[in-house]
Amino acid sequence: MKIKEQTRILCISSPAMEALGVSCVSSFYKPTPIHKKFNFNKSTPIPRSCFSSTRKIKSRSTKGFTSLSSSSKVSPENVDPPEAELETETPNEIFEWFSQWYPVMPVCELDKRVPLPKKILGLDVVVWWDINESKWKVFDDTCPHRLAPLSQGRIDQWGRLQCVYHGWCFNGSGDCKFVPQATPDGPPSHTLKKACARVYPTTVQHETVWFSPSTDPKYKDIIKKKKPPFIPELDDPSFTNLFINRDIPCGYEIIVENLMDPAHVPYSHYGVMQLDKPPKVKADREGGQPLELGVKKLDLNGFVGRQEWGSVKFIAPCTYCMYADDDPVDVQGNGSAKSTGTDEEHKIMEVGAANWQKECFVPARSDALVVGFRRWMTKYAGGQINWGGKFSPTSLPPTPPREQLMDRYWSHVVNCKNCSYAYKSLNTLEVSLQVITIVSIGIVAATKQGVMSAATRTMVVSMAIVCFVASRWLAHFIYKNFHYHDYNHSFH
């Protein structure tokens, strides 16, 4: 597929899954000019099981929604280092992780009948539909009674969130409205403050549920002071929206750096995206080449950068946009970010300035956005995520096995309506083929000689064999596309 219209891409990810996980809630593709050298390879389509989509086509221009190496010793001689970023003077500013907005799920992937658990910024939360207020709500996934997960409960006939353990019921404000075990003449224990569920500020923007991860009363009306990152194009009806949702067991910094590192695409994604080789550069098989990247502006809210075919914008902590033009909106999402045009932009950044991993060596300009992100982390976030004291960055869990790391079912299929439907339908077809196989063999075995002609017997046996082979092939197809698909770069 060749994208001829102007293209913009927005990726949103949330720090999740304890200290090491990231939930790529949604990314947003907006076909608006992508450079001619970027073409999608038709011969190797991306597996459908990896994402879900909703499309609204109203004109030629389209917009889509999607949520987000080992070191090598290279001689620094004759190598262009990444450009330094321009920093706005913001002395003593510290990025507050718990006063931001984080994406939870695209609305199209939520079921109003069922509460859904998520882990974001190390917090276990539950998102559910409050029919009385006609709003999505995000609660702490803990019942105040015996700490049972509210996500394992249900929404009762009065539209309240009911705990699965003892049936306590909570309204959209978190107030406990019913305790089944309480006697009518006893004290009204359900009205006590300790009986209330913890409620997080919640809003819906760009067809995605967002929440602010603090139940502190001072953040109750945070929506009046600060809103989620606003991207005007996402509300433009002339674009097509494509939602991609997947939970990835990977560190927050790693997934953000991955999005900011286009140089890895021809190698890590070889065969998925076809890149035209530059005519005057001797490229390798994959088509790697020098990339001109740079950071124009860096402050507490993120940074604005540039790349060969456009510009980029990182809105801290979890929104990353790519534009095919050279004039993106600023870091706050209002107006245009202009470079000062001074010589500071072209000064060489010392490799040690980032100061995050001594073994990392970034000698090329293609690493400029990654260095800019690490510089932001170091300057404004102390070099690490604030987990609210729940996790220690020095005691991370071990890396899960490859099959679990690249699992598709639990990371995507169960939370995608389209893939879940396809998965169930294909499993039903597989079982049907197996039943046909068994019934056909049974008929042949139970039928006496002479009752069934040789031709009919041969046809039934052949049908049983075909159905059996088809069921085995279908089982392999289901596992490969909906559970685990291995990839060995040595053979591709």
CATH for 140: 2.102.10.10
Q: Which residues of the chain have pLDDT under 50?
A: 1-7, 17-85, 88-89, 329-358
What phi and psi, each to the nearest 5 degrees, are found at residue 98? -95, 10
**Total domain count for the chain?**
3
- Helical residues (DSSP H) of 4-134, grouped into ranges: none
d(CA 217, CA 208): 24
Does the residue 286 lie in any domain? yes
User: At which of 350, 374, 399 does a domain end?
Assistant: 399
Residues 259 and 369 in one domain: yes
Does the residue 132 lie in any domain? yes
Residue 9 pLDDT: 55
d(CA 172, CA 111): 17
Tokens of 459: 């046809």
Residue 114 pLDDT: 95
d(CA 308, CA 311): 8
Residues 266 and 390 in one domain: yes
Does the residue 489 lie in any domain? no
Does the residue 44 lie in any domain? no
Residues 332 and 368 in one domain: yes
Does the residue 461 lie in any domain? yes
Tokens of 24: 């790529």
Residue 324 exposed, middle or buried by CB count within 10 Å (0-12, 13-18, 19+): buried
Residue 192 exposed, middle or buried by CB count within 10 Å (0-12, 13-18, 19+): exposed
Residue 27 pLDDT: 41
User: At which of 399, 433, 456 does a domain end?
Assistant: 399
Structural domain containing residue 131: 102-234
Residues 344 and 440 in one domain: no
User: At which of 399, 426, 452 does a domain end?
Assistant: 399
Does the residue 143 lie in any domain? yes
Does the residue 214 lie in any domain? yes
123-130 and 302-307: which strand pairing? unpaired
